[in-house]
Structure 1
Amino acid sequence: MLQDFIESPLFGLVLFNVAIVWPLWRILRRAGLTPWWALLALVPFGLVPVIGVLAHSRWPVLPVRQPRKTKARRTA
């Protein structure tokens, strides 16, 4: 029974989903976002909105960047 499951394509699919969802869950949690977004990776093309949320949201864990101080320019 177990040997049949290991040889089936379903086993590879389960391993692939675990390999995607588990690290994504940790990344979202460390970014200060809800880790439930990681379950969207199980849906076809569901990873696209997750990447968009990660790319375009403010990460509350990171410190706020200070604006750069501009130096006075010399004119020739």
Structure 2
Amino acid sequence: MEFLQDIVNSPLFGLLLFDLAIVWPLWRILRRAGLSPWWALLALVPFGLVPVIGVLAHSRWPVLPVREKRATKARRSL
């Protein structure tokens, strides 16, 4: 019982919970975006989340439909 209490009070246990709270949703987001979910494991490395966010921001999401361009209205002159 004391061993379990030592594990729960360890700062590494809090870090593990935080990592799971980041990696699991990121894994699902990447999978839904049509990208490899293995990118989510980079969040476990310090500053590893930066390239993951860059990939998400600058890649095409093949799951989403292509948006049509809005027709521009002709401007009226005064």
TM-score of the two chains, using structure 2 as the length reference: 0.91
Superposed counterparts of 1:1-76, under 5 Å: 1-76=3-78
Q: Which runs of 5+ in 2 are unaligned?
A: none
Distance in 1 (alpha carbons) for counterparts of 2:73 and 2:46: 50
Structure 1 residue 74: Cα displacement = 1.7
Q: How many residues align?
A: 76
1:6-53: CA deviation from partner (whole Å, max 9, x where unpaired)? 111111011010011001001111111110000000000000000000
Q: Give the 4+ runs in structure 1 shifted more than 2 A.
A: none
Q: Compute the RMSD of aligned alpha carbons.
A: 0.8
Name the aligned partner's letter for residue 46 of structure 2. Answer: P
Q: Which runs of 5+ in 1 are unaligned?
A: none
TM-score of the two chains, using structure 1 as the length reference: 0.94
Structure 1 residue 68: Cα displacement = 1.1
